[in-house]
Amino acid sequence: MIELALIVCLSADPAKCKDVGLTYASESVTPQQCMMRAIPEVAKWTGEHPNWYVKKWSCRPAGHFAKI
């Protein structure tokens, strides 16, 4: 399973950042498909969380990293 990993920071305090993992519903998503679908997902997350901004994003295997 692949997840879209976001590093997001608080707009009011850019030093406060956290790791957010968005897991795709389908288990058959490849890393290339994840990258192709990422921009709309990043935009959607940003729209739902107006006090945060996305500093960096990538695709990675789901569940292999600790959440901050």
Q: Answer yes or no: are the C-beta atoms of 3 and 59 closer than 8 Å.
A: yes
pLDDT of residue 68: 44
Residue 51, pLDDT above cutoff 80? yes
Please check whether residue 2 is in contact with residue 62, taking contact to mean a CB–CB distance below 8 angstroms: yes
pLDDT in tens, 19-32: 999 887 666 788 89
Instruction: For residue 51, give Cα distances in angstroms to 31, 46, 48, 64, 66.
Output: 29, 9, 9, 27, 23
The DSSP letter of residue 23 is E
Mean pLDDT of 44-68: 85
pLDDT band at 62 (very low <50, low <70, confident <90, very high): confident
Strands (E), the chain: 2-10, 13-23, 52-61
